[in-house]
C-alpha cells in the first residue's frame, strides 16, 4: 500500500497490506478486547479519551504533516483538523456520562423501569481520505467511549494517517486492540461486515460503497450509519449581507481543495444581488493562493490523486460542452502535481454533470433565481440532502426557508460544518443515521429496557 504525495507525485512510504489471516486475528483480538473494555467504568474511558486529546495536541504538527504529504491538505488546515479532533475528544470526555445516563419511564407503583445504554461490540469504520483524522475521530470518540471497540478500514492513499491514529490511542494508554487500523484492500470489507464478530458498521464515502456495505449488513441484520456525500446549496437572498456571504461562501467551496461532502457547491443567488455577488465571488476566489501545501501561505493545495483531478476536469468539460460558462479557472494547472485551480461556472444547464452530480473539488456553480420560492426549489433539486446554507438579514425568514430545504442540516448565515455538539448526517442519497452529539453516541448501543418489580 503506497502513500504518494499528490503535490509532487513522489512516493512517501510503502506499507505492508494485511492478509485475510491478519484480519481474522485482528477480529479475535477485538472480541477479546471488547470483553474487558465494556467492563471498564465509563469515567475511566472518559479519562482515556481526554488523554487522547492531549496526545493529539502534543503531536499536532507531526500528524498534520502526515496528512499533507499523503492527501495534499494545506498544512494550516491540517493542523486545524487535528485540533478539531482533540475538541471532539474533550467533548465526549466531558459529556459521555450525561449522554449515557439511564432514562427512567413511568411505571406501576413499586416498580422501576428504565432504559440503559450498553455497547454492542466491535464496530467497523470505513473512512475516506479527505478528512483523514476528523472522519475517524468523530466515529471513534463517541463509539469507543461508549464501550465498543473500533476497527478502522481507512482509504488506501492515507495509510500513514491510519497508523498514526492507532498510535494516538496507544500513546493515550488505551488497552491493546481497543482500536485497530486494518491496512486492507476494499474487497475484504464485505467479509468483515458479514463476520459474526463485527456487530455494526459505519461508512463515509461514495454511494456505491455505502450501498454495498448497507446491503451486506442488512443481510446479516447489522446496523449501519452512512454518510454518502452531498451537493450542498448555498442560498443568497436579496437581503443578504453580501460581504459576509461572499467571503464565507468562497471559503466554504474551496477549503480542503473543495474536497468535502459538506462544501458549498451550488450557489443559488437572488436576481437582485446576482451580478454583484458573482463579481465579488470571483474576485475573492481568484485571490486564493494555490501552491505547495506545506507552505503556510497556501489556501488551496492539490487534489488528493491525479485520477480524482481527471474526473473533476471531465465533469467541468462535459458541463461546458453542454453550455456552462467558465467565469474563472476551468483547466488543470500547468505545473507538477495534481493541481486544479478554483473554478466558477455560470449559466449551468439543467442535467449536466456540474448540475446533477457531486463535484468533489474546487468548482462552484452559480445559479440566478427570481425569488425565494425558486431558490428553495433549486436548493431541493438534487438527489443529495446533506447540508445547506441560507443567507439573509431576516433571521425569521432564514429559519422559515431552512425548514423548507430537504437536508440533514441547514445553517443560516453560516457555512455547513460538523460540530461535536450537534447531530450530523443526511437524507436522501446522502445517507442515514447521525454522528456526533448525544444522538451519535447512541447509534451503536443496545437501548435496553430494564423493568424491576
Please identify every residue annotated as catalytic. 227, 261
Phi, psi dihedrals of residue 165, rounded to the nearest 5°: -65, -40
The radius of gyration of the chain's CA atoms, rounded to the nearest angstrom, is 23
Q: Are 195 and 47 in contact (CB under 8 A)?
A: no
C-alpha–C-alpha distance, residues 126 and 198, integer Å: 13
C-alpha–C-alpha distance, residues 255 and 222, integer Å: 35
C-alpha–C-alpha distance, residues 180 and 174, integer Å: 11
Phi, psi dihedrals of residue 291, rounded to the nearest 5°: 175, -155
First to last CA, the chain: 57
Helix (H) or strand (E) segment spanning residue 98: helix 75-99
Residue 396 CB partners (closer than 8 Å, separation 6+):
none
Helix (H) or strand (E) segment spanning residue 327: strand 325-328
C-alpha–C-alpha distance, residues 151 and 361, integer Å: 29
C-alpha–C-alpha distance, residues 235 and 231, integer Å: 13
Q: Are 114 and 64 in contact (CB under 8 A)?
A: no
Q: Are 161 and 67 in contact (CB under 8 A)?
A: yes
Amino acid at each position: 500500500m503506497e502513500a504518494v504525495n499528490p503535490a509532487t507525485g513522489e512516493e512517501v512510504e510503502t506499507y505492508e497490506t494485511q492478509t485475510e489471516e491478519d484480519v481474522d486475528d485482528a477480529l479475535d483480538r477485538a472480541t477479546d478486547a471488547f470483553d474487558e473494555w465494556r467492563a471498564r467504568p465509563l469515567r475511566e474511558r472518559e479519562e482515556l479519551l481526554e488523554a487522547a486529546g492531549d496526545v493529539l495536541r502534543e503531536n499536532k504538527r507531526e500528524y498534520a504533516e502526515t496528512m499533507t504529504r499523503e492527501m495534499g491538505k494545506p498544512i494550516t488546515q491540517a493542523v486545524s483538523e487535528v485540533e478539531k479532533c482533540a475538541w471532539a475528544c474533550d467533548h465526549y470526555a466531558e459529556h459521555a456520562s450525561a449522554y449515557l445516563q439511564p432514562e427512567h419511564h413511568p411505571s406501576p407503583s413499586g416498580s422501576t423501569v428504565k432504559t440503559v445504554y450498553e455497547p454492542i461490540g466491535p464496530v467497523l469504520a470505513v473512512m475516506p481520505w479527505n478528512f483523514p483524522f476528523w472522519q475517524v475521530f468523530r466515529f471513534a470518540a463517541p463509539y469507543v467511549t461508549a464501550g465498543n471497540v473500533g476497527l478502522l478500514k481507512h482509504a488506501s492513499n492515507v495509510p500513514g494517517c491510519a497508523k498514526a491514529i492507532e498510535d494516538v490511542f496507544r500513546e493515550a494508554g488505551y488497552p491493546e486492540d481497543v482500536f485497530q487500523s486494518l491496512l486492507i484492500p476494499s474487497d475484504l470489507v464485505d467479509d468483515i461486515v458479514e463476520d459474526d464478530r463485527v456487530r455494526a458498521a459505519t461508512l463515509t464515502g461514495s454511494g456505491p460503497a455505502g450501498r454495498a456495505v448497507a446491503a451486506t449488513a442488512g443481510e446479516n441484520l447489522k446496523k449501519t450509519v452512512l454518510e454518502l456525500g452531498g451537493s450542498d446549496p448555498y442560498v443568497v437572498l436579496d437581503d443578504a449581507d453580501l460581504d459576509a456571504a461572499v467571503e464565507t461562501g468562497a471559503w466554504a467551496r474551496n477549503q480542503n481543495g473543495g474536497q468535502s461532502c459538506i462544501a458549498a457547491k451550488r450557489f443559488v443567488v437572488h436576481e437582485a444581488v446576482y451580478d454583484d455577488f458573482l463579481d465579488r465571488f470571483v474576485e475573492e476566489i481568484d485571490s486564493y493562493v494555490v501552491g505547495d501545501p506545506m507552505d503556510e501561505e497556501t489556501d488551496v493545495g492539490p487534489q488528493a490523486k491525479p485520477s480524482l483531478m481527471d474526473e473533476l476536469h471531465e465533469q467541468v468539460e462535459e458541463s461546458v460542452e453542454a453550455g456552462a460558462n467558465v467565469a474563472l479557472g476551468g483547466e488543470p494547472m500547468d505545473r507538477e502535481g495534481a493541481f486544479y485551480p478554483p473554478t466558477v461556472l455560470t449559466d449551468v444547464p439543467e442535467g449536466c454533470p456540474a448540475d446533477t452530480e457531486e463535484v468533489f473539488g474546487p468548482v462552484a456553480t452559480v445559479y440566478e433565481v427570481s425569488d425565494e420560492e425558486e431558490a428553495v426549489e433549486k436548493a431541493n433539486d438534487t438527489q443529495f440532502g446533506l447540508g445547506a446554507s441560507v443567507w439573509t438579514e431576516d433571521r425569521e425568514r432564514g429559519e422559515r426557508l431552512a425548514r423548507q430545504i430537504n437536508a440533514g442540516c441547514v445553517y443560516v448565515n453560516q457555512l455547513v460544518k460538523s460540530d461535536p455538539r450537534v447531530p450530523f448526517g443526511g437524507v436522501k442519497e446522502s445517507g442515514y443515521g447521525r454522528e456526533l452529539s448525544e444522538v451519535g453516541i447512541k447509534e451503536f448501543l443496545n437501548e435496553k429496557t430494564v423493568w424491576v418489580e
